[in-house]
Structure 1
Amino acid sequence: MSVSDISHQLITDYRQLFIEDRPLVDLRAPAEFARGSFTQAVSLPLMSDEERAKVGTCYKYYGQQAAINLGHKLVSGQLKADRLAAWAEFARAHPNGALFCWRGGLRSQITQQWLAEAGIDYPRIAGGYKALRRFLIDELERLIADTPLVLLAGRTGCGKTELLVELKGTVDLEGLANHRGSSFGGQIEPQPTQIAFENDLSVNLLKQSQHAPAAILLEDESGHIGSLMLPQSLREKMAAAPVVILETPFEQRVENIFDEYIRQRLAESIRYFGEKGFEHFSLYLRQSLYRIRRRLGMEGYQQLQQMMEQALASHQKGDPDAHREWITTLLRRYYDPMYDYQLGKKARHCLYAGQASEVAAFWHQQLHITR
């Protein structure tokens, strides 16, 4: 029985697929998955990178049927049984899921057929990854053009991200990028690829659009978050968007940064690296400070570096409090002047300014009025 002899479910409603977060099996090779996929997708490839390369070479020189025959030969016996068992386990655990490969072609059809022969009728996605990616690119541009944006602005350490995730009608760009946006914003886990970030951004905007918001609240960002770039159309839209400013007392900002840069980061480093946790934590602080050395100037950088080294020495002995000294200096000499400069450069309409509870009440009122 050939692939063409069998008829199976074929999913064409991409929008609902993403809105419902339907679980997906990405059948592409691991290297393809690594370049970018979707949050709800898991990698259960039909072929390894090496197997796919061999089949591709065979296709190039000997044609499709020879490549299909080679693929069946490479993925056979116990190897086929193991991969089929993994797909079957996923399908039973996620009966509302679906399969996809690069273009919805042979790989997903073959997998679908093997599952059917094992008694599992499981749908595949028409057009595969290429069609899904095209859909999200088009939706991203449409949503950016059609949806009014409001930006949540405020000085470093004021708690913008924490407030943003508590509110409705928001998209957390830094959460999607796995980066806090500043020179100290890198996380232990790597950032997603640019493609995966854009896919996730489009899906999040798509979900928010289902509630017909009058506007979506985003954190005020530069053109990039860590190594990832915001789409050009989004950067242009954000540059003209009105702002809501979160105001937080300086002392609270120091504590917020201390909690994020010191307490949380050290705890995460210990969870990931065990006995070498403090060593990795110290390296993170040193490298983060080094990245802004030119903006600090050599004298300012060396002064902060000395403060940081003294704080790390005290911290290793059990006293982390000295970190507040260099954090205070960093805010006053670097982050606050930079914020004032950036704010002065842009003529932006401010809708509201206040502390966290006041901003939350204002935004809730806007949602209540407009919905």
Structure 2
Amino acid sequence: MTDRIPASDYAQLLLSDTPMIDLRAPIEFTKGAFPGSVSLPLMSDSERAAIGTCYKQQGQQAAIDLGHQLVSGAVKQARIDAWLAQIQRQPDTVLYCFRGGMRSQITQQWLREAGVNRPYVEGGYKAMRSYLIAQTDRLTQTADMVIVGGMTGCGKTDFLTPRADSVDLEGLANHRGSSFGRQLTEQPSQINFENTLALALMRHQARGATQLILEDESRLIGRCSLPLEMHERMAQAPRVILEISTEARIEQILKDYVTDMQAAFIARDGLEAGHQAFSEHLLASLSRVKKRLGPVRYQALNDIMVKALQLQLSRGALDGHRDWIAQLLTEYYDPMYHYQLEKKPTKPLFQGPPAAVAEFLDQRL
């Protein structure tokens, strides 16, 4: 077994879901890491900061000496034990630090002394991150991209999910894309979003898909930002449009943002606390478009929503939610959709109900 994983093996390393030990300090890991990696740092944040200061003031050798002093004895053994436990759980685990330098080499040496040989990633986090950025740029610029659009509530995500030739941008961002799109769990960091996006595009190519189907998105999906070059490419790509009735759209939104979300909050927090948290979530979602709605229209919708939430809790009735959804669609989302559609540079390739759009995409190539 070689002691290093070269850059030529990055694709295989990432596509095979090889487990990785991230040796960087916790603060570095929190900003961004790779899928499948676990944070088991060689140094804590404070140790890393102290060594960095020593390096600037006294030079490399003094910093190395301080590192060995700080990470020694029981502290050193505890970290070795954590690495060994991870490798025992997943024997194919590999190591990486920021540049594939001293932290990786020291860890590898200590593991060897403990009787275990594991390779580290040459170039480390920095090189592999650059590789993923380049993959996103290459794959989005060369792919036969098709964008799926449609009015709010037409079920674009549900349409794309089963397709092997699609990549779920909202799933990667953990956000449904609209003012009501926040999920119970936090969105990934921007770097983690970009890393998982690159990997999803690589997997798409590895599946042999001949076209890349993406949902029509703003550049921001919640707080996650699509790479600029990718979003510009999406804006110029051919489009297909899903068309369903207003009634069906209301039912889709009711399911996505009311019944499913309420159930998720209740599953997490219990009936009373869950409904309260869900109510606050829904009212906060409406408040995020208050400025665009204007104070009068916002207050009217807010009042309808409050009553709808009360009826939902007391009787399980949902018609009140249908009322505010219908008004929000006709008075806000639909006019905005038509305005944005007029600015598109080209007409859609095809538009129709989901089954017809699916057949068109299947027969396109």
Q: Does the alignment reach a TM-score above 0.5?
A: yes
Specify the alignment match of 2:362 in structure 1. Answer: 364
How far, CA to CA, are the matches of 2:302 and 2:331 in structure 1?
Answer: 14
Residue type at the aligned position of 2:10: Y
Q: Structure 2 unaligned runs (5+)?
A: none
Specify the alignment match of 2:285 in structure 1. Answer: 288
Specify the alignment match of 1:4 in structure 2. Answer: none
Residue type at the aligned position of 2:347: H
Instruction: Give 1:144 shift.
Output: 2.0
- Residues 199-249 of structure 1 show CA distances to partners (whole Å, capped at 9, x for unaligned) of 111111122223454320000011211112211111211111111111222
Change (3 A) 1:246 1:58: same
Maintained 8 Å contact 1:184/1:285: yes
User: Matched residue of 1:42: which SS?
Assistant: strand
Query: For 1:296-307, what aligned pairs fall within 5 Å after superposition?
Result: 296-307=293-304
Specify the alignment match of 1:34 in structure 2. Answer: 30
Query: For 1:216-365, what aligned pairs fall within 5 Å after superposition?
Result: 216-274=212-270, 276-321=273-318, 322-365=320-363
Q: Does 1:15 align with 2:19?
A: no
Instruction: Give 1:133 shift.
Output: 0.9
Residue type at the aligned position of 1:278: H
Residue type at the aligned position of 1:352: F
Maintained 8 Å contact 1:11/1:123: no
Specify the alignment match of 1:176 in structure 2. Answer: 172
Aligned residue-pair number: 361
TM-score by length of 2: 0.93
Maintained 8 Å contact 1:289/1:305: yes
Identity score, percent: 49
How far, CA to CA, are the matches of 1:43 and 1:183 in structure 2?
Answer: 33
Instruction: Give 1:171 shift.
Output: 0.9
How far, CA to CA, are the matches of 1:312 and 1:201 in structure 2?
Answer: 36
How far, CA to CA, are the matches of 2:66 and 2:156 in structure 1?
Answer: 55
Specify the alignment match of 1:45 in structure 2. Answer: 41
How far, CA to CA, are the matches of 1:41 and 1:70 in structure 2?
Answer: 27
Which deviates further from its counterpart, 117-126 or 89-98? Answer: 89-98
How far, CA to CA, are the matches of 2:221 and 2:36 in structure 1?
Answer: 23
How far, CA to CA, are the matches of 2:265 and 2:307 in structure 1?
Answer: 20
Residue type at the aligned position of 2:306: E
Residue type at the aligned position of 1:20: S
Specify the alignment match of 1:144 in structure 2. Answer: 140
| Equivalent position to 1:91, from 72, 87, 101 | 87
Change (3 A) 1:320 1:49: farther
Instruction: Give 1:104 shift.
Output: 0.6
Instruction: Give 1:175 shift.
Output: 0.8
How far, CA to CA, are the matches of 2:58 and 2:244 in structure 1?
Answer: 67
User: Matched residue of 1:153: which SS?
Assistant: strand
How far, CA to CA, are the matches of 2:254 and 2:329 in structure 1?
Answer: 12
Q: Structure 1 unaligned runs (5+)?
A: 1-6
How far, CA to CA, are the matches of 2:44 and 2:263 in structure 1?
Answer: 36
Maintained 8 Å contact 1:11/1:124: no
How far, CA to CA, are the matches of 2:156 and 2:93 in structure 1?
Answer: 35
Instruction: Give 1:28 shift.
Output: 0.8
Maintained 8 Å contact 2:165/2:210: no
How far, CA to CA, are the matches of 1:9 and 1:228 in structure 2?
Answer: 33
How far, CA to CA, are the matches of 2:5 and 2:173 in structure 1?
Answer: 32
Maintained 8 Å contact 1:167/1:360: no
Residue type at the aligned position of 2:327: T
How far, CA to CA, are the matches of 1:305 and 1:30 in structure 2?
Answer: 42
Change (3 A) 1:32 1:148: same
User: Matched residue of 1:58: which SS?
Assistant: helix
Instruction: Give 1:320 shift.
Output: 4.0
User: Matched residue of 2:116: which SS?
Assistant: coil
Residue type at the aligned position of 2:129: R
